[in-house]
């Protein structure tokens, strides 16, 4: 393995000075997801730039669907030096991964001045117990996308500010025969549905836990599930939403088959790309709505970080790669599918150009990002909520019965 003499973190490039006496080249194994945020082509391009700047270090990239990411990381934790050197992980996993010793504590590697330069919501992606287990990389939340042509046909002049207004506008669009199903969501029995549930819970000032006990049986969380079910019962939500993931939502919306959709940042560029979308030029984005008397906007923390597995034999090289991918200049150059973690980026012309409404929405949404429960047992908690909420959406049980059943099961694992 080539030794690293020093790491240079410049404004444009992070370079490893490699020892001339080193014995062999280093290959890093890196795990990413194959959906949402940065595209595979973006990541390959960034990586090629890193390799060009760091002779002797190569990166072997693996892309998997988000749904496989967690289990891949867990399985590799027991693989010794044959595992991964860099992994992309969700904001909901640091508690589990830190508790189980899967990720290296890199607190001392992060420059002190980064703390104030990066959004607080981004830092929560990599923090647990006062330590940092990586660098935030994807700063994301779900936004409300709307089709301006459909709203115009229905006589609607502005997007909704509240979820109640959204339902009313959907009724108006449906009543005028513009669309049969104005709303589309990613409500498959998956984490995607929990992200929508969290957004609606946040809007209603709900909570997952209070004093360590399940609080989602009542209040804002119950209101969230009731709203989800009501839009299905009224025929406002496309019933196929109960099988959809985010890419399905993008496809339906981009085909002009929905007036409103909740989705991640990446959809803005693709829904406005004529090669990808039939509604390019007719798509606008706004913060997810609020609820009268409770909130003005709502937002779920969907951010992701890059970390080094504890069993990696190439920690220094892995950190150099992470430092390169997360630096401001690189993020600014690839800001169309994923917005930067750096506060200063949001006044950069190359970040803002062509996505001014997204930047405006981001400034509001990022400030109210609501976390899913940051607990070591989150995966089990989410699985329980997914199953029980999905049964409500399938009309197999009632809201109260489902949430009571979920709470009883969660208590047994907490």
**Percentage above 90 pLDDT, the chain:** 87
Which pLDDT value is given to residue 369? Answer: 93
- Strand 26-33 and strand 86-90: pairing? parallel
Same domain, 233 and 326: no
Same domain, 182 and 289: yes
**Percentage above 70 pLDDT, the chain:** 93
DSSP single-letter state for residue 373 = P
Residue 170 and residue 182 in contact, taking contact as beta carbons nearer than 8 Å: yes
Tens digit of pLDDT for each residue in 215-245?
A: 999 999 999 999 999 999 999 999 999 999 9
Which pLDDT value is given to residue 276? Answer: 96
**Averaged over 380-399, what is the pLDDT?**
98
If one counts the domains in the chain, the total is 2
Which helix (H) or strand (E) is 180 found in, with range? Answer: none
Same domain, 92 and 166: no
Same domain, 307 and 387: no
Same domain, 326 and 343: yes
> Between helices 219-233 and 191-203, what is the axis angle to 10°?
110
Q: Scan for tokens 């600014």, then name that residue.
A: 332
Q: Tokens standing for 47?
A: 């990586």
Which pLDDT value is given to residue 15? Answer: 40
Residue 346 and residue 363 in contact, taking contact as beta carbons nearer than 8 Å: yes
Q: 3-class DSSP state for residue 253? A: helix
How would you write 213-249 as a 3-class SS string?
A: EECCCCHHHHHHHHHHHHHHHCCCECHHHHHCCHHHH
Same domain, 245 and 357: no
Same domain, 385 and 289: yes
What's the chain's average pLDDT?
A: 92
Q: Tokens standing for 387?
A: 């199953």
CA separation for the pair 379, 184 (Å, rounded): 25
Tens digit of pLDDT for each residue in 93-144?
A: 999 999 999 999 999 999 999 999 999 989 999 999 999 999 999 999 999 9
Same domain, 127 and 147: no
CA separation for the pair 141, 65 (Å, rounded): 18
Which pLDDT value is given to residue 414? Answer: 64
Q: 3-class DSSP state for residue 51? A: helix
Spatial CB neighbours of 289, under 8 Å, sequence gap ≥ 6: 144, 160, 161, 162, 163, 165, 166, 203, 297, 298
CA separation for the pair 82, 72 (Å, rounded): 13
Same domain, 382 and 358: no
Residue-range definition of the domain harbouring residue 9: 4-140+301-368
Which pLDDT value is given to residue 14? Answer: 43
Which pLDDT value is given to residue 5? Answer: 35
Which pLDDT value is given to residue 9? Answer: 43
Same domain, 323 and 409: no
Give this prediction's pTM: 0.86
Domain with 220 in it: what CATH number?
3.40.190.10
Whole-angstrom CA distances from 413 to 73, 213, 214, 295 are 22, 11, 11, 32
Q: Scan for tokens 């049969």, then name that residue.
A: 180
CA separation for the pair 91, 127 (Å, rounded): 9
Which pLDDT value is given to residue 79? Answer: 73
Same domain, 207 and 278: yes
Tens digit of pLDDT for each residue in 304-315?
A: 999 999 999 999
Phi and psi for 335 in degrees, rounded to 5? -95, 10
Tens digit of pLDDT for each residue in 69-88?
A: 999 999 998 776 679 999 99
CA separation for the pair 364, 357 (Å, rounded): 11
Same domain, 277 and 186: yes
Residue 411 and residue 214 in contact, taking contact as beta carbons nearer than 8 Å: yes
Say if residue 2's pLDDT is above 90: no
**Which of 40-44, 148-152, 376-380 is predicted least confidently?**
376-380
Q: Scan for tokens 């150099």, then name that residue.
A: 320
CA separation for the pair 240, 58 (Å, rounded): 43
């Amino acid at each position: 393995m080539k030794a690293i003499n020093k790491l240079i973190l410049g404004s444009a490039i992070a370079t490893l000075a490699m020892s001339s006496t080193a014995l062999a080249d280093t290959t890093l194994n890196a795990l990413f997801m194959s959906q949402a945020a940065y595209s595979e082509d973006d990541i390959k391009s960034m990586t090629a730039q890193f390799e060009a700047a760091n002779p002797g270090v190569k990166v072997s990239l693996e892309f998997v669907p988000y749904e496989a990411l967690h289990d891949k990381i867990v399985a590799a934790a027991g693989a010794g030096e044959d595992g991964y050197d860099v992994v992309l992980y969700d904001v909901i996993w640091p508690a589990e991964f830190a508790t189980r010793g899967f990720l290296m504590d890199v607190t001392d590697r992060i420059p002190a001045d980064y703390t104030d330069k990066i959004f607080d919501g981004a830092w929560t992606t990599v923090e647990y117990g006062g330590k940092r287990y990586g660098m935030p990389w994807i700063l994301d939340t779900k936004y409300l996308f709307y089709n301006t042509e459909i709203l115009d046909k229905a006589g609607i002049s502005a997007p909704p500010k509240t979820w109640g207004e959204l339902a009313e506008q959907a009724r108006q669009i449906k009543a005028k025969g513009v669309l049969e199903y104005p709303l589309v969501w990613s409500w498959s029995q998956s984490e995607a549905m929990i992200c929508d549930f969290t957004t609606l819970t946040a809007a209603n000032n709900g909570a997952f836990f209070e004093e360590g006990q399940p609080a989602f049986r009542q209040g804002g969380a119950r209101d969230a599930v009731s709203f989800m079910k009501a839009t299905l019962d009224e025929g406002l939500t496309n019933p196929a939403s109960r099988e959809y993931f985010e890419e399905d939502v993008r496809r339906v919306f981009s085909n002009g088959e929905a007036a409103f959709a909740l989705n991640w940042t990446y959809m803005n560029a693709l829904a406005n790309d004529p090669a990808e979308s039939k509604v390019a030029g007719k798509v606008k984005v706004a913060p997810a709505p609020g609820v009268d008397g409770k909130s003005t906007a709502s937002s779920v923390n969907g951010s992701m970080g890059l970390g080094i597995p504890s069993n990696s034999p190439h920690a220094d090289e892995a950190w150099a790669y992470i430092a390169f991918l997360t630096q401001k200049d690189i993020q600014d150059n690839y800001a169309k599918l994923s917005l930067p973690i750096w506060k200063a980026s949001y006044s950069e012309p190359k970040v803002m150009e062509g996505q001014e409404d997204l930047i405006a929405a981001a400034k509001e949404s990022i400030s109210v990002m609501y976390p899913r429960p940051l607990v070591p047992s989150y995966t089990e908690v989410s699985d329980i909520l997914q199953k029980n909420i999905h049964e409500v959406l399938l009309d197999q049980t009632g809201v109260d019965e489902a949430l009571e059943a979920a709470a009883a099961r969660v208590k047994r694992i907490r």
